[in-house]
Amino acid sequence: MSFITGKNLSCIRGMKYVYGKVDFTVDAGEILVVVGKNGCGKTSLLKTIAGFLKPSSGQITISCADDLQSLDIIHYIGTSSSLKKQLTVRENLTFWSKMLDSDADNIDKAIKSFGLDEMSNSQISYLSSGQIKRCSLARLLLAERKIWILDEPETALDNDSLNRFIDIVTNHVKNNGIAIIASHRPDIWPDNKKLLEIG
């Protein structure tokens, strides 16, 4: 059984605690929703779990990987879209598909799943913030990853897009995936979620 645990985690920047004494466990088939006020360290914690930052104290254990940087098990999507504005939706997803060493057939699946069909040949620079967000999140379906770490993924999504995305996350965890989500709207996630409040 895959799982992630954090024990006594803290992050210090500029001699100040961003967060401290954080403990959690999330198993395969579970969603962990991280909540707290702006600036409390949610993004720093997610980056620490993903392996992009080292904790000032404590330890993270991921049962299905020895290396936290292992790109074959983790999808991390932050608040930045990481998309090239001069490229189309399809061109961006094609770029990321190659970066993730993914099957090209997954591009059409991602476009359809996130309702991007009508804008697939439109440049990112012409899209609304919600459309850009959907394109960014569509990278989740380009390659199979056990762990999804998502920083405020619901931002800019309208109700239809949000419901579609929640279904995608729910399906991921039903297939023994793990989702760790920083969110200001914990109520939108399934009732069986775990909550981790920091700050």
CATH number, domain containing residue 52 = 3.40.50.300
36 and 46 both lie in a single domain: yes
Residues 68 and 154 in one domain: yes
Q: What is the total count of domains within the chain?
A: 2
- Per residue of the chain (199 residues), what is the pLDDT tens digit? 679 999 999 998 887 888 889 999 999 999 999 999 998 999 999 999 999 999 999 999 998 754 444 457 999 999 999 999 999 999 999 999 999 999 999 999 999 999 999 999 999 999 999 999 999 999 999 999 999 999 999 999 999 999 999 999 999 999 999 999 999 999 999 999 999 999 8
Q: For residues 139 and 150, state if they share a domain.
A: no
Q: Same structural domain for residues 26 and 119?
A: no
Q: Are residues 52 and 138 in the same domain?
A: no
Q: What is the dihedral of CA 38, 161, 127, 98, to 10 degrees?
A: 90
Q: Are residues 104 and 189 in the same domain?
A: no
The predicted structure's pLDDT at residue 193: 96
Q: Are residues 62 and 37 in the same domain?
A: yes
Same-domain check for residues 133 and 121: yes
Residue 134 and residue 150 in one domain: no
pTM of the model: 0.93
Tell me, yes or no, whether 17 and 65 share the same domain: yes
Structural domain of residue 29, as residue ranges?
Answer: 1-73+146-199
Q: Are residues 46 and 113 in the same domain?
A: no
Domain co-membership, 140 together with 152: no
- 156 Cβ partners below 8 Å, 6+ apart? 128, 129, 130, 132, 133
Left, alpha or beta for 129 (phi > 0: left; psi -120 to 50: alpha)?
alpha
